[in-house]
Amino acid sequence: MHITKRPAIALWKNLGIRGIGLVLALIVCAIVIYAVTKLNPLEVYVAMFKGTFGSQTRVWYMLRDTAMLLCIAVGLAPAFKMRFWNIGGEGQVLVGGVAAAACMIYLAPNMPLAPVLLIMFVLSALAGAIWGLIPAVFKARWNTNETLFTLMMNYIALQI
């Protein structure tokens, strides 16, 4: 297989290709939905749309979750740029959350709020960094598969 860069495509053609891809994906998903659940795929799509955009609260939840995923993606971008396939961002965020929760539980009753927030921020970032450093050390020292290693670290973080 040989991959070459294509010349620039007109905007209307670019949008048309993406639109066709979206329609085909919806058709394939509709077939799978019907085959598995025997439900009307259009009703399922409407329920999904209402579940995301049905009220102001649901829209805010969607925006919050999207912002979190975008922050994780921005944090993982340097690793991907260095060809280190870190798919353990979820585990790193979870371990950072555990560190932040531990600060709330053990430090908040005895300290003012501002230092606790600062310590929470630093320790959660440090915990996530250490969680990501573990597979990096194994990759550098023993040439382990970082994709599988970071994926397995997600499952360990879920159990913590």
Q: What is the pLDDT of residue 92?
A: 94
Cα 35 from Cα 51, distance rounded (Å):
22
The pLDDT tens digits of the residues spanning 118-140 come to 999 999 999 999 999 999 999 99
87: nearest Cα among 143, 159, 160, 155? 155
Q: What is the pLDDT of residue 5?
A: 75
Q: What is the pLDDT of residue 30?
A: 97
Mean pLDDT of 21-34: 97
Q: What is the mean pLDDT of the chain?
A: 93
Q: What percent of the chain has pLDDT over 70?
A: 99
Q: What is the pLDDT of residue 85?
A: 81
Cα 132 from Cα 154, distance rounded (Å):
10
Helical residues (DSSP H) of the chain, grouped into ranges: 11-37, 41-53, 56-81, 89-106, 113-142, 146-159
The pLDDT tens digits of the residues spanning 2-24 come to 777 777 888 899 899 999 999 99
Q: What is the pLDDT of residue 8?
A: 82
Higher pLDDT: 87 or 116? It is 116
